[in-house]
Structure 1
Amino acid sequence: MLKKILAMASMLFAVVSFAAVDVNKGTAADLDGIKGVGPAMSKRILDARKEGEFKDWPDFMQRVKGVKEKKAEKLSAEGLTVNGKAFGGQASAPAASKADKVAKAPKAAAAEAKPTKP
């Protein structure tokens, strides 16, 4: 009976240790527990969080120095979330406006129409 209780306790501990940590709610110790986040990064996260909660991953990546797409993927795989969401690979750059796309279209058509010299 004691062995079963110890086994259940260790399984519960393992599940808790793999629980996700939200950047908007986690303490410095919680953030340090994520592989890839050390004391310096957890301090940067907490300092940026003082300005306001992170809205999403692009907001987090923009405000925390040293976190780009590749790092965000790794941190998310280790259990870090932003507002309960894992990193989905969305680009942090704003999407091109419709006017930009229209302006680029004539240039592309002109380049295709230009004959090449043999």
Structure 2
Amino acid sequence: MSGPVAAAEQAAESLRTVNHLTLAAPASGTPGWEDVGDLYRVLGELRVLAERLPQSCGQLARHLECPAAGHAYGVDDMADEPASVVVVSAVLALDEAQRCASRTGQHLNDAMSAVAHLHA
């Protein structure tokens, strides 16, 4: 992994794989996806992913607000607003994404707490 773009691509691809592997219900004889215990563990990892996402959103927003020294943002010909307005719009969207990801982590934790009481 050479940078944040590659790491984000890998995370996205890993989640795509989880989506494919969880299409079918857990079944005996399916390594890593045999029972409710495996479902619980997948929930746990998804919770961790959701809990880590707000930090990334916050850091990206901060970088938009304070670009590296000597760099200023411009906009292309398709933009209806100046760069400063576009940046504010992106930062506000990232702030909302941060809140949503935090709530997602809380909801996944609630699901884990419920599933913890189940057995096959």
Q: Please, what TM-score do these two structures have when normalized by structure 2?
A: 0.23
Q: Which has the larger radius of gyration?
A: 1
Flag the structure with higher helix content.
2
Q: Please, what TM-score do these two structures have when normalized by structure 1?
A: 0.24
**Greater RCO, CA 8 A, separation 6+:** 2
